[in-house]
Amino acid sequence: MPQTPNTQTTNAPSPVPTSADVARLAGVSRATVSYVLNNAEAVRISEPTRRKVRDAAEELGYVPHAAARSLRAGHTRIVLLPTSNVLAGPLHGAFLNELQWALRRLDYTVVQYGSLGLTGDEAARAWAELRPVAVISLGDIVLCARNVATLKRAGARAVITLGPGRVPGAHALVMDQAAVGAKAAAHLVERGRRRIGVVVPQEEGLGFFSEPRLAGARSVASAEVEPLPLAHTEESAAALAARWPSLGLDGVFAYNDEYAMLLMRALQDAGLRVPEDVAVIGADDLLIGRLLRPRLSTVQIEMPTGDHLAALVDRAVREPSHFTERHDLMTAVAVRREST
């Protein structure tokens, strides 16, 4: 940055206090400061000295430099959580909060890194620069084996994917979205439907969930499945409803409860009766489903608790080898209400 001719050998006189500043003010060495502030047990520091150091740090408003610390340490405690803020994903905010809490209790630094629109390669590089100790890929980005290798080479002791888990080298926490689609389709079949539409959201970042759900529905024999692209807008839903009669469908799995609500309303406005003319089922068991009339049938997904997942991550970090490759963490069950 050739903005100001820098007369000094170093950068602009950094006003940010370092441990050296604390040491100077306290009249001790930097080593002592480090010992005191990190409560080092290996070394015994006299109480007066501790006080002096603490007071000095307080007075200067000293905050340690995470980058310098982890550079020296050779590793970080960063758990990278790449997430797009897509609405209507099956990862509820509450779950993410829980997970963050649990990880923080285990002394990890949780960093959410927005990666929407990056390719797997770009994302993996960007993540690797931060040298995270673990990466929990929630599925916005599709990783390949090479990406996992990049991350591992950069020091990641655990690369965890939530999904069918086909990525070689990654720890897989199986959250089989296909099962969701399968349960939904099976439920519709059970209710006497055969020609089943499956909503595929057009919004970016949902493909990782919607594709397996569609595939799962397809896997149900005795069901004839028709993919239905749908954007999260009234217009899109109305258009779909308008051509509904020509589709000849008697049931629909609407990806999740939000899209189900949207579609169900459009169908009703188009004069179709739910569930008589068409049965509708959502997924994720959102609160809104129970507020609709007819009440929305849904596929309920049992998520692991944040604590549980955090513990798993911690174990993977400590003992990468002892981590069994696959963990089943999700069960899906269809809940019948009034729309099917």
Partner DNA sequence: TTGAAAGCGATACCAG
Partner DNA sequence: CTGGTATCGCTTTCAA
Nearer to DNA, 154 or 272 (CB): 154
Residues 288-317: x where in contact with its own copies by CB under 8 A, - otherwise, as a string: x-xx--------------------------
Which among its own copies, DNA, none contacts residue 49 (Cβ within 5 to 8 A by kind)?
DNA
Binding region for DNA (CB under 7 A): 6, 9-11, 14, 16, 18-20, 27-35, 37-38, 40, 42-46, 48-49, 62, 64-65, 68-69, 71-74
Binding-site member from 27, 55, 114, 229 for its own copies (CB under 8 A): 114
CA distances from 39 to 7, 24, 43, 84, 218 (A): 40, 19, 9, 38, 59
Q: Given CA atoms 118, 120, 123, 125 in this order, what sign does their dihedral have? A: negative
At position 157, the amino acid (one-letter code) is R
Which phi and psi (to 5°) does residue 299 adopt? -105, 115
Can you give the three-state secondary structure of 112-125, one letter per residue? Answer: EECCCCCCHHHHHH
Question: Is residue 104 near its own copies by the rule CB under 8 A?
Answer: yes
Which among DNA, its own copies, none contacts residue 290 (Cβ within 5 to 8 A by kind)?
its own copies
Identify whether the C-beta of residue 159 lies closer than 8 Å to the C-beta of residue 145: no
Question: Which of the residues 222 through 241 are near its own copies (CB under 8 A)?
Answer: 232-234
Shortest distance, position 193 Cβ to its own copies, whole Å:
23
Q: Tokens 């109305």 — which residue? A: 238
Shortest distance, position 180 Cβ to its own copies, whole Å:
20
Shortest distance, position 128 Cβ to its own copies, whole Å:
4
Instruction: Give the whole-angstrom CA distance, residue 98 versus residue 147.
Output: 27
Residues 151-170: x where in contact with its own copies by CB under 8 A, - otherwise, as a string: --xxx---------------
DSSP, residue by residue, 128-158? HHT--SEEEE-SSS---HHHHHHHHHTT-SE
Instruction: Give the whole-angstrom CA distance, residue 143 versus residue 1.
Output: 36
Question: Is residue 113 near its own copies by the rule CB under 8 A?
Answer: yes
Identify whether the C-beta of residue 256 lies closer than 8 Å to the C-beta of residue 228: no
Nearer to DNA, 80 or 99 (CB): 80
Can you give the three-state secondary structure of 256-307, one letter per residue? Answer: CHHHHHHHHHHHHHCCCCCCCCCEEEEECCCHHHHHCCCCCEEEEEECCCHH
Contacting residues toward its own copies, per CB under 8 A: 10-12, 14-17, 61, 63-68, 70-71, 73-76, 83-87, 92-94, 96-97, 100-101, 104, 109-114, 116-117, 125-126, 128-131, 149-150, 153-155, 232-234, 258, 261-262, 265, 287-288, 290-291
